[in-house]
Homo-oligomer: A and B are copies of this chain.
Amino acid sequence: MNTVGLVAFALVGATKAIREEFDLFGVTVVGLATAFAGGMTRDLLVNRIPLALSTPTEIALGLLGVGLAVGVSATLESADTHPVTQFSDAIGLAAFTTTGAIVATQAGIPAFGVVAIATINAAGGGAVADILLDRSPFILLDDFYASCAVLGGSAYWMIVAVGGANGTAAAVCAAMVVGTRIAALIYGWSLPTAQVLGLTRE
């Protein structure tokens, strides 16, 4: 799952950078940032050396995603919204949420921190990529994306809190992220703004 996720995340990020006419160095950086910035931020927050930089296989997978983005940009206008990409991206979201929850739990971080680190691990890469592209992180604006990671991370924490096995918690977390993300794509879920809820003064 991690493998699919790294390739999909790098592909999505690199495709956005190609659309903004970044040069090939920029496309590579944005692609790799999408794939690795979430996990690296997680490592900084639990005070360990970011592992991504030391793992040739993971780097190779990220570069494969960037290469795919450049390759298919000749034939597909928006490789990042292709169903195969979106499905792979959902799998990556699930893999990264679960990894984040496991690492945070091992580091002895309590409830809210586990959910926060799982969400940052999963959605932080996309947020960093959007900042590099000079826009607000899309996860804050609309769509039902980071919310899937929040749900999955919460499920992980609750199962561990009631004495469940780590393996069970990981499986439920991953399933919940993939399930809610795919449902969100199919049914067009999004979180409301305060405006939509009628909570602001006109």
- A residues touching B (Cβ–Cβ < 8 Å)? 17-18, 20-27, 29-30, 40, 44-50, 53-54, 56, 59, 70-71, 73-77, 107, 109-113, 116-117, 127, 131-137, 139-142, 146-147, 150, 190-195, 198-201
A25 contacts B150, C-beta separation under 8 Å: yes
CB-defined A-B contacts under 8 Å, sample of 18 = A18-B194, A18-B199, A23-B141, A23-B190, A24-B192, A25-B140, A25-B146, A25-B147, A29-B146, A45-B53, A47-B47, A54-B110, A56-B111, A56-B112, A70-B194, A73-B201, A74-B200, A76-B201
Q: Which of B40, B49, B73, B195 contacts A21 (CB 8 A)?
A: B195
Q: Is the CB of A199 within 8 A of B70?
A: yes
Say yes or no: A25-B191 contact (C-beta < 8 A), given A30-B140, A56-B110, A200-B73: yes
Contact A201:B75 (CB < 8 A) given known A142-B23, A193-B23 = yes
Copies of this chain, tallied across the complex: 3
Q: A47-B49, A136-B133, A140-B23 are in contact. Are A199 and B73 (CB under 8 A)?
A: yes
What B residues does A110 contact at CB under 8 A? 54, 56
Q: How far is the CB of A15 from chain B (nearest CB, A)?
A: 10
Residue of B at shortest CB range from A40? B45
CB within 8 A of A44: which of B23, B44, B70, B198?
Answer: B44
* A75 CB contacts on chain B under 8 angstroms: 201
Extra contacts, 19 of them, besides A49-B107, A73-B194, A77-B201 (Cβ < 8 A), are A18-B193, A18-B194, A18-B195, A22-B141, A23-B192, A23-B193, A24-B193, A25-B140, A27-B193, A29-B140, A44-B45, A45-B49, A53-B112, A53-B116, A59-B112, A74-B199, A131-B132, A132-B137, A134-B135
